Structure 1
């Protein structure tokens, strides 16, 4: 059963999370996404001083990340990079569910249903380190020994074929109701390794390129910075969405 004997890798990720959250409170705001006329002034990856004034034009959107979560600024207007103080406890709890978790409970991800019978997790990747089999992307991994794939639709059984650039291949068999499965041990993930994923019913193969990152970042901002530099945009999008602060949208 998936994750039954995988506590050690998850413990390492949980420890990584603890280090990140412990260092998040004092980190400077970071631009994690920007669009519009001022995007070149505020590019993704730019760190801002505390209480810096951000002047945006009409059509500008800037998303800031700090130890409390993300805020979206929409122009025109002038904003403070720090904004109002919001407790980080909710952000930490939410992010904890996203990047860590415990053994046996993980085996049931994708099969948790509400009283109405609707799958609560359907359609949304439950973990920033999970490989979405439907999305071609750069994929950052912190632990190459426990790479996991995930599919948004687990209604039917599927066999995902994983093919390396040299033609070597392996399969990941997923039963009906099983959303996540372990990467084939015969195809070790290394920095820069590229793969294609395919299965019956797929419109086209999914292309993946792995980037190995070291789990030593002291805060959310450093984690986001690593994802930005590596071009791991799918994971960055999931991180931004997950740690969005309540009422985190500000307009001038």
Structure 2
């Protein structure tokens, strides 16, 4: 039993890119307030350093263990305290996995008693949210899949760009569909997705093989302007 738990932990660490004593970086992923310009998203902070925040400052840092949010005023160490609770490795492993993007059947997402239904979020960072426009970072072009929030009805989708177009479809109850093989997934490729009288424009940005782990992935998302994916990563990695 102990051996099985250790093996599972090592597998998760390998997916996250944090196995062993490899050094990870601390990144600024969000900043607002009077000192925001001193801590731009993507800035790398040295271990042992500190941040001096004023009243109204809110800075979110990310490292190999997850994210933490600092609120001013005060001076805060870059390195998280040892007692800080780590992020959910299982959830993060599923979010970052480029290979096992499974077909899903989901119904309405329920909130707590008396609350409005919660908004469903992409279960995997690399899924193409058909309602989310903007830059879309891709770690593995062969693993690109389409995703939608509402799976109650069948949906036909038209995708066009670069002088070509193709169709994709979701069956009732399905949230994930295949990306058309006839449309190239390459760096800079732009496409318009149209369904149900609505449209959104996306642009692919291919990541390098070295962009792994929480810190490497976050840095790449920031560099390519993949804000929606960065927001999802930051929220999932919060501790």
C-alpha displacement of 1:108: 2.5
User: Is the contact between residue 17 and residue 96 of structure 1 (CA under 8 Å) also seen in structure 2?
Assistant: no
What is the distance in 1 between the residues matched to 2:207 and 2:78?
A: 28
Q: Secondary structure at the match of 2:59?
A: strand
Q: Secondary structure at the match of 1:44?
A: coil
C-alpha displacement of 1:84: 1.3
1:77 to 69, 74, 78: 74
User: Is the contact between residue 12 and residue 90 of structure 2 (CA under 8 Å) also seen in structure 1?
Assistant: no
What is the distance in 1 between the residues matched to 2:150 and 2:160?
A: 21
What is the distance in 1 between the residues matched to 2:12 and 2:183?
A: 26
Name the residue aligned to 2:214: 220
User: Where do 1:1-252 residues align within 5 Å?
Assistant: 18=15, 20-22=17-19, 26-85=23-82, 86=84, 88=86, 90-100=87-97, 106-110=102-106, 123-166=120-163, 168-202=164-198, 205-245=199-239
C-alpha displacement of 1:122: 6.1
User: Is the contact between residue 20 and residue 217 of structure 1 (CA under 8 Å) also seen in structure 2?
Assistant: no
Between Structure 1 and Structure 2, how many residues are aligned?
223
C-alpha displacement of 1:60: 1.2
C-alpha displacement of 1:109: 4.8
What is the distance in 1 between the residues matched to 2:232 and 2:26?
A: 18
Query: 1:20-39: CA deviations, max 9, x gaps?
Result: 23268631311011111111
What is the distance in 2 between the residues matched to 1:17 and 1:137?
A: 30
User: Is the contact between residue 156 and residue 169 of structure 2 (CA under 8 Å) also seen in structure 1?
Assistant: yes
Query: 1:89-122: CA deviations, max 9, x gaps?
Result: x53222112122875x8222535989xxxxx996
135-144 or 218-227, which deviates more: 218-227
Q: Secondary structure at the match of 1:106?
A: coil
What is the distance in 1 between the residues matched to 2:173 and 2:70?
A: 39
128-137 or 25-34, which deviates more: 25-34
| Structure 1 alignment gaps of length 5 or more | 1-13, 115-119, 246-252
C-alpha displacement of 1:207: 0.6
Query: 1:200-225: CA deviations, max 9, x gaps?
Result: 142xx101000011232353111110
Q: Secondary structure at the match of 2:38?
A: coil
User: Is the contact between residue 110 and residue 180 of structure 1 (CA under 8 Å) also seen in structure 2?
Assistant: no
What is the distance in 2 between the residues matched to 1:195 and 1:101?
A: 21
